Structure 1
Amino acid sequence: MSVQGFTNIIQGPLTQYLQISQQIGGDVGQHSQLVHNAFQVQFQYLTLASQSKQPSQPEIINLLKPTSDQISAIQDFREKNRSSKFFNHLSAISESIPALGWVTVSPAPAPYVKEMNDAGQFYTNRVLKDWKEKDKKHVEWVKAWIQTLTELQAFVKQHHTTGLVWAGKGVAAPPPPPPGCPPPPPVLTDFSAASTAGGDADRSALFAQINQGENITRNLKKVTSEMQTHKNPTLREGPAPFKTPARTGEYQKGNHNLLVENVEMNNVVYLFRCTDSTVVIKGKLNSITLDSCKKTSVVFDSLVSAMEFINCQSVQMQTEYPVPEQYKTTVVPGKGLSTIIVESKG
């Protein structure tokens, strides 16, 4: 595998994103530092994979915890700053940063990265709408971040087509670094004579408790089965898996009853190698992608961004709600009303 390809992403579009974020400053600048940390953690993980044989699943979960923690920190920062004037910037990153979870996806991690990139498009479009006439730095900021994930998708597709590639040789992957040392013990002070008397009383009370004999255990707290790790599996669980707003369907054949409900505007639907099938999607979502499908139809209510066909044959799409249109009507002397379509300049 090529760790250098990931290094090129960090030194290229990611660095540009970080620099522009610092120029914008405020919450955007602080948020970008968390993003930088997340990419550094992933770089360490990829370096480890290039030098080690694949560990067991419990070990992988343990090794992925730093990445999971960084993604959570990025999303928590957005939630704590919902009143920020840069909320759309924070949301664009928070909705798409789970793309770093591609290391857990198989057999098609590259499309997953694209889905996460699309998931953030709803908010990047808002950034462009709000700032393109005020400050061009925000336009460059959007381009740099989208380019970062686009190059990440290309890197994954080239080097990890069906999933993260481990070296297949070498020593087992070491565990992540342990947490820092505990704080030092409190400094011992010079006890005064007054405290000595109090100390004698405390020692007398301690000896009185010890002399209770078997009754000393009656005040101990009982450990229930729910508190024992060998009887409560939930206490042994690893970090939560990466959350994704994607809905995926693969290898459906001759199925005309596929139904996707309760979608949200940051959700994406990805269909792969479906044949002679029909999918009905209820609600408004971000985007729909058909990849390598044949004779497949998609019926949906409404979209935020785009409907995309990749290497498909004889596919159809149908929207149930009206497609937004914009017209400009003017009064022309002697001719009446003249209506033209307003072209998008975004």
Structure 2
Amino acid sequence: MDDYQNHISSVQISFDMLCMGKGVAKGSIPPPPPGCPPPPPPVIDFNIGGAGDGAVDRSALFAEINKGQDITKGLKKVTDDMQTHKNPTLRQGPAPFKAATVKATSIVKPTKVEKPASFTKDGKKWMIEYQKENHNLVVDNAEMNNVVYMYKCENSTITVKGKLNSVTLDSCKKTSIVFDSLVSSIEFINCQSVQMQVLGKVPTVSIDKTDGCQIYLNNDSLDVEIISSKSSEMNVMIPKGDGDYTEIPIAEQFKTRVTPNKTLTTEIVENKG
């Protein structure tokens, strides 16, 4: 009994000393012991799919490593044409991207509508338009107050009988006109390769924006005045008296200078070509 009491006392003393070391008051109830530690993480099995598979893979890997220099025998040999320092074409890299070219759609030009030829008289004005390949055009019984207007005629010839006021050829090509006499003038505007022949008198011949104009005069029309602008290849045919003509070109080039009194003077530049 005494031994039991002594054992209890020693246990109490040890407990008191333990509590004092942990800051627990003597005679108070000690805190409960800490909980159990968490279980260890599960062991990862790298041989999923069968223990034999992992063993075989590792064995094959170790076998390859143990080959030493023989491990490179299965590699593909790099030839000279595969080496960039021996084959410059490999250093050029891929070709730059080029956008696909789109062919432009051809523009369909509208078809030119051919207008019908006309030969009419509207009051005092004779209208001759869109005549082509017609060399039998005749204006008969013309009066002094009449005018003749030709527009866009091609490769045609017109004869005007009688004395009339004026004649105009506008945008005509390869067209000829023969007339008796005019009171005023004959005009060529925007024409190509045209010619005229006067049988009587004509006071004025006007040529504007025309390329190629032949003017046949007679002895009664030598006092004519010829006014030209922005035109070329103009020639005047003067009769010799034996039925032949002398061809004289109209000047197209000019030279202009400033005079000492600050005005302009212009002279013809002869074409020696």
TM-score over 0.5 (shorter chain): no
With the length of structure 2 as denominator, give the TM-score of the two structures: 0.30
When the two structures are superposed, what TM-score results if normalisation uses the length of structure 1?
0.24
Bigger CA radius of gyration: 2
Higher relative contact order (CA 8 A, sep 6+): 1
